[in-house]
Amino acid sequence: SAGAGRAEASALLSRLGGSVLRSPQVSVTRTAEVARVQVSGVAPAVVPFLRLPATTVAYGPVERFRGDR
């Protein structure tokens, strides 16, 4: 479910702490065919006062059981 995907992504970000992404936001959408997860936030600064946004998206087909085969 979309809620389970959001919870898993949020749990992973919590385990990683703020070292990978600051102010993370997780967006999950799911249709009958495709699941999509987008994670956005701010990359840790390597140059003082430089805030760079970071976004990544992962998507793939939803597995379905078809009893007619």
DSSP 1-45: -HHHHHHHHHHHHHHHGGGT-EEEEEEEEE-SSEEEEEEEEEEPP
Examine residue 68 and state whether it is found in any structural domain, yes or no. no
pTM summary value: 0.75
Tokens of 25: 């936001």
The CA distance from 42 to 48, in Å, is 13
Examine residue 55 and state whether it is found in any structural domain, yes or no. yes
Number of domains, the chain: 1
Domain that holds residue 25: 2-61
Examine residue 66 and state whether it is found in any structural domain, yes or no. no
pLDDT of the chain, 69 residues: tens digit per residue: 888 888 888 888 888 877 788 888 899 999 989 999 999 999 888 888 888 999 999 999 988 777 776
Examine residue 69 and state whether it is found in any structural domain, yes or no. no
Examine residue 67 and state whether it is found in any structural domain, yes or no. no
